[in-house]
Amino acid sequence: MEKLYYERPYVKKFEAEVVECRPDKDGNYLVRLNRTAFYPEGGGQPADTGTLGEALVCDVRERPEGIVHITDRPIPEKTLVTGILDWERRFSHMQNHSGEHLLSGVVHKHYGYDNIGFHMGKDEVTVDFNGTLTMEQLEEVEAEVNELIWQNIPVLETYPSKEELDALDYRSKKELSGQVRIIEFPGADVCACCGTHVMTAGEIGILKVTGLARYKGGVRVSLLCGREALLDYRKKLKAVQNISVLLSAKPDSVSDAVSKLKEEGIRKDSDRNRLTRELLVRKAAEYPESDAPVLVLEENLLPAQLRQFCTMLYEEKKGSIVLVCSGEEGLYQYAAGSSTADMRALSRQLNERLNGRGGGNTLLAQGTFQTSFQEIQKVFKEEL
């Protein structure tokens, strides 16, 4: 099998002979060729996609029998077929993979951390390191990586002998056997790799760190390069501009404007909660003390307000058991409370008879009834 994705990584279109084509259990077809430019998934890099003749190539895998192209239709064996790569996808993978090498190399140089995980997803590239980094440190790494990109240093591919490999200082995530492919950014990084790469660092365009999270005792860094970084910037710039218009703030001041808006919202919520509590206190005072079970219907109470009002009533001895309902005919939210009876048991009984859902603890239960208020009154009276 001739691997054009290594020998001629910029080939977008090629011809090959179909060696084998057989159906798989999912209704697709497994096609082997005598040569291919389609990269099979591996090393954290997704497979290439494209077409083989009229067939869509939706995945490519490396298996014991060779590289298998998964297509949506059969291709006759022993025929010549033209393969066309989705070049935008492939080149994006090349930019991101090469950018990841530079980032990992610079992190290793300054902090000694190893790249222990790499994944190229649909929306971002993630790299896992076995040590901690701050965003400030990553910004310094990002700046150095972009300087290397703009210097347009070459990207070298070699296949050293075992003796040469033993003497070489290079990064690798696992023990390697057989022929090893080395990707080198001179002066920046040397790493064993099976993925596709650009020929010069300048083709990466730009690397942007987009996220940092703690992960398995180390950190997970999210990043984007080249075209994907540009698309991400456009999307985020558009969002900032829209927020800028909505808040009548300059684009570079939207963070302060949002913080101010949030503070105003918190203050208004606090005022609203205070006023609501005062209203509920007044409502609770209207009910006389009682040793009997009490059923209350109130309009427009939110779940938290239901719970709050119910607690006020039973704590102020307005009833031995208090059931507060709010809603509309056919669907009522409820809160049931008591300082003497088990509300979990009562909730189960009421839910069973009133098409209800919910639960709680011994003092307070909350949920919904899908029935009429008349039926709630009837069952409440029968149960208590």
pLDDT at residue 169, rounded to an integer: 85
47 within a domain of the structure (yes/no) = yes
Residues 349 and 364 placed together within one structural domain of the fold: yes
Pinpoint the alpha helices (H) of the chain: 4-7, 87-111, 135-150, 162-166, 226-247, 254-285, 303-315, 343-353, 373-383
Last residue within a domain, chosen from 31, 64, 85 = 85
User: How many distinct structural domains can be found in the chain?
Assistant: 3
Helix (H/G/I), strand (E/B), else coil: 17: strand
pLDDT at residue 123, rounded to an integer: 87
pLDDT at residue 176, rounded to an integer: 65
User: Could you report the per-residue pLDDT of 74-91, keeping only the tens digit for each?
Assistant: 999 999 999 999 999 999
30 within a domain of the structure (yes/no) = yes
pLDDT at residue 108, rounded to an integer: 95
CATH number of domain containing 305: 3.10.310.40
Structural domain span for residue 80: 2-85
Residue 178 has pLDDT above 80, yes or no: no
Determine phi and psi for 302, rounding to 5 degrees: -75, 160
User: Could you report the per-residue pLDDT of 182-230, keeping only the tens digit for each?
Assistant: 999 999 999 999 999 999 999 999 999 999 999 999 999 999 999 999 9
Last residue within a domain, chosen from 206, 234, 262 = 234
What percentage of the chain has pLDDT greater than the value 90? Answer: 67
pLDDT at residue 18, rounded to an integer: 95
Higher per-residue pLDDT: 318 or 301: 301
User: Could you report the per-residue pLDDT of 251-297, keeping only the tens digit for each?
Assistant: 887 888 888 888 888 999 888 889 988 888 888 888 888 888 989 89
Residues 123 and 73 placed together within one structural domain of the fold: no
CATH number of domain containing 76: 2.40.30.130
Last residue within a domain, chosen from 29, 60, 85 = 85
Q: Which of 63-67, 118-122, 164-168 has the lowest mean pLDDT?
A: 164-168
According to DSSP, the β-strands at 29-33 and 13-23 are antiparallel
Give the position of tokens 């427009």.
300
Q: What average pLDDT does the segment 139-161 reach?
A: 95
pLDDT at residue 76, rounded to an integer: 94
pLDDT at residue 174, rounded to an integer: 66
Residue 370 has pLDDT above 90, yes or no: yes
User: Could you report the per-residue pLDDT of 9-33, keeping only the tens digit for each?
Assistant: 999 999 999 999 999 998 999 999 9
Residues 42, 262: Cα–Cα separation, whole Å:
45
CB of 72 closer than 8 Å to CB of 29 = yes
Q: Helix 303-315 crosses helix 254-285 at what angle (to 10 degrees)?
A: 40
Residues 78 and 113 placed together within one structural domain of the fold: no
64 within a domain of the structure (yes/no) = yes
Residue 379 has pLDDT above 70, yes or no: yes
Q: What is the mean pLDDT of the chain?
A: 91
Residue 173 has pLDDT above 70, yes or no: no
User: Could you report the per-residue pLDDT of 347-356, keeping only the tens digit for each?
Assistant: 999 999 999 9
pLDDT at residue 154, rounded to an integer: 94
291 within a domain of the structure (yes/no) = yes
Which helix (DSSP H) or strand (DSSP E) does residue 62 occupy?
strand 55-63
CATH number of domain containing 141: 3.30.980.10
pLDDT at residue 287, rounded to an integer: 83
Cα-Cα-Cα-Cα dihedral of 34, 39, 44, 46, to 10°?
-120
Residues 305 and 323 placed together within one structural domain of the fold: yes
Residues 316 and 358 placed together within one structural domain of the fold: yes
